[in-house]
Every structure is written in C-alpha cells, then in structure tokens.
Amino acid sequence: MSSSVFAALKVTDPAVFGRVAVLMGGSSSEREVSLDSGHNVLEALCARGVDAHEVDGIPALVDALVHGKFDRVFNVLHGNKGGGEDGVLQGLLQAFEIPFTGSDVLGSALTMDKIRTKQVWQSAGLSTPRFVRLASGDDLRAAALQLGFPVFVKPSCEGSSVGVARVQDAAALAEAEAVAQRYGGEMLMEQMIVGDELTVGILGDVALPSIRIVPKGEWYDYNAKYLADDTQYLCPGLEGEEETAIRTLALEAFRSAGASGWGRVDVMRSRANGQLYLLEVNTAPGMTSHSLVPKAARQLGVSFEELCWRILEQTL
C-alpha cells in the first residue's frame, strides 16, 4: 500500500507555517517520554525546512506567546497536570488564537479521563470492558468480586501505563491500590480481557493499519512500551474483514469521544470469541523510536518526516 489513501499535501513551502513551537517535556508523569517524542518531531520538521523550535512545558510557552514568538504549536506534551492532553493547554491556545495540532478542549479533556470516555462509548453502543469507577475510600474487594478476577486497576487520568496494576487475586489488591493512589483522583477497575492487544493510529479521516503488540512479558507495561527491545509489533495486526472492522471501530470511537486531528485508539480482541473491546484514546501519542503511530504510517508509505508534516498541516 502507498500513501495514496491520503490526500495530496496541502503545502510544500515550509515558510507557510511561520515559527513553530514544538511543545514537549512539561511536568507530568510522562515527561521523559514527551522529551524523546518532541526531539524526534523537532528533528523531522527542521529536516524539511520548518522554522521549528523546542519549548519545554506550558509556562515557557506562555512566556513565548505573550512576546509573539510563535505562529503555531506542534503539541507533543503527554499526560495531564503539566502535560498537554487534558484540555488545559488547548483552552490556553484557543484564548491566544494560536493554531495547534491534535484535539480541541473537549476531545482532550474527555479522553484524558478513561472513566468518562468509557461512559460515552457505552452510550454510543460501542463495546468496552466492564468497569467500576472508584472514588477514594471505595471498597476494591467488592468491586473486584463484582467484575471477577483478573482485573486491572489504574488511575483514571494517566497515560503510558503509568500507575497501572494487573491484579490476579484478592491478595494483590492492596498493592495495586497503593500504586494507583499515588497519582490522585479517581481510579478505574476494569475487567481484564484475555487476548490480543491492538492499537489503531488515526491521521485525519484515515484509520491507519492496526498493530498487534506481542510483549515478551505477560502484558504491555511501561517497560515494554518504551524500554524493551523484545516487544514484537505485527502490522497489520489483523487480516481481511477483521482488519476492516477494527479500523472502522477505532475511527468511530475516536470521533465519538470528541477527538480530532490525529491520535491512537487502543483495543483488545478477546481470544474466547474474537470480540473487540475499546480501551482508551491517546490524543498526543508517543513519537519515540518504539512508538506505534509512526510504525503504522510507514505501512502506508508515509515516512516519519512526512507524518510530522501532515500533522502540522492540520493547523492551517
């Protein structure tokens, strides 16, 4: 396949973009991943002649915008609380009337909250694993008995598998709760779907080929995502009608959650019955050497440099 599934590039002159802030780093729990992603994006844009510059975190960006230093923002901040995926940055940029990559306020804020994203999917009739919303002090044991072991316990508003614990039995609940609570806010307890972990990148109106993730360990944790070199990525992850179905589902899930521009939708495929279950949306996915959206784009003949250019074009 080639990049013919995409429209022709809107522009070829990098000067059209003006001065571009590549926003990275920040103060969220995903800072290191964001810096890695940001430096890759910066290098790719500069290689194509874009007048792009590194900006570390939202306070530095505000200072630059007050002084009129940038015309648009390529957001590669990950996470919340100083990351750029929770709607706070998007509202700020809209107030400054500065174009930016990725989802708007609603899409960013909603998808940062796993619980409310799942509630929207349920209302739209889209399949997601059964779950229990847990406030501070709620009874984890009762929730686990309701869902049935094994379960995942995770903070509702973190990404990159930060704070996620896989709980096989009641004995492991206390440790899982302690890990998730370090990040504050509500927790999500989710039924564990046994099967294949897949992800689908979204670029504009196109769902990219799915990727099936095969970690060497038991599940796809932070180490497998960013550090290990023995995780296998099979692309496309499915074939024929199943591949068509997962791409269609991912695009519908992305749009129904208010997301736009580009991103990634994570999905589980049950080994028992082949059913697809939506997990979450990432509105500023990783752009590291291990990251999945660039891998999927390459399957369609889109290089990393072209991918960054196409994302930036969405701000015009």
What whole-number distance in Å separates Cα of residue 316 and Cα of residue 303?
A: 21
Indicate if the pLDDT at residue 1 is higher than 50.
no
Q: Which residues contact 68 (CB under 8 A, 6 or more apart)?
A: none
Among residues 31, 264, 269, 310, which one is catalytic? Answer: 264
| Strand ranges of the sheet holding 51-56, from the earlier edge strand across to the other edge | 51-56, 19-24, 72-75
Residue 239 falls in the annotated catalytic set: no
Q: 37-43 long-range CB contacts below 8 Å, 24 or more apart? A: 37/76, 37/78, 37/286, 37/287, 37/288, 37/291, 38/76, 38/287, 40/287, 40/288, 40/289, 40/304, 41/74, 41/76, 41/287, 41/308
Residue 274 falls in the annotated catalytic set: no
Residue 226 falls in the annotated catalytic set: yes
Residue 264 falls in the annotated catalytic set: yes
* pLDDT at residue 225, as a whole number: 53
Residue 160 falls in the annotated catalytic set: yes
Is residue 35 within 8 Å of 226, Cβ to Cβ? Answer: no
Indicate if the pLDDT at residue 257 is higher than 50.
yes
Residue 280 falls in the annotated catalytic set: yes
Among residues 226, 237, 277, 310, which one is catalytic? Answer: 226
Among residues 84, 237, 258, 286, which one is catalytic? Answer: 286
- Neighbouring-strand partners of residue 188: 133, 154
Among residues 29, 260, 282, 291, which one is catalytic? Answer: 282
Write the pLDDT tens digit of every residue in 54-82: 999 999 999 999 999 999 999 999 988 77
Write the pLDDT tens digit of every residue in 102-115: 999 999 999 999 99
Is residue 69 within 8 Å of 54, Cβ to Cβ? Answer: no
Among residues 56, 108, 266, 269, which one is catalytic? Answer: 266
What whole-number distance in Å separates Cα of residue 118 and Cα of residue 127?
A: 9
Residue 13 falls in the annotated catalytic set: no
Domains and CATH numbers, the chain: 3-101 (3.40.50.20), 111-127+193-304 (3.30.470.20), 131-191 (3.30.1490.20)
pTM of the predicted protein model: 0.90
Among residues 103, 160, 256, 291, which one is catalytic? Answer: 160
Is residue 189 within 8 Å of 143, Cβ to Cβ? Answer: yes
Q: Which residues contact 177 (CB under 8 A, 6 or more apart)?
A: 140, 153, 187
Write the pLDDT tens digit of every residue in 206-255: 999 999 999 876 655 555 555 557 789 999 999 999 999 999 999 999 99
What whole-number distance in Å separates Cα of residue 68 and Cα of residue 59?
A: 14
Residue 270 falls in the annotated catalytic set: no
Among residues 84, 280, 291, 310, which one is catalytic? Answer: 280
- Neighbouring-strand partners of residue 33: none
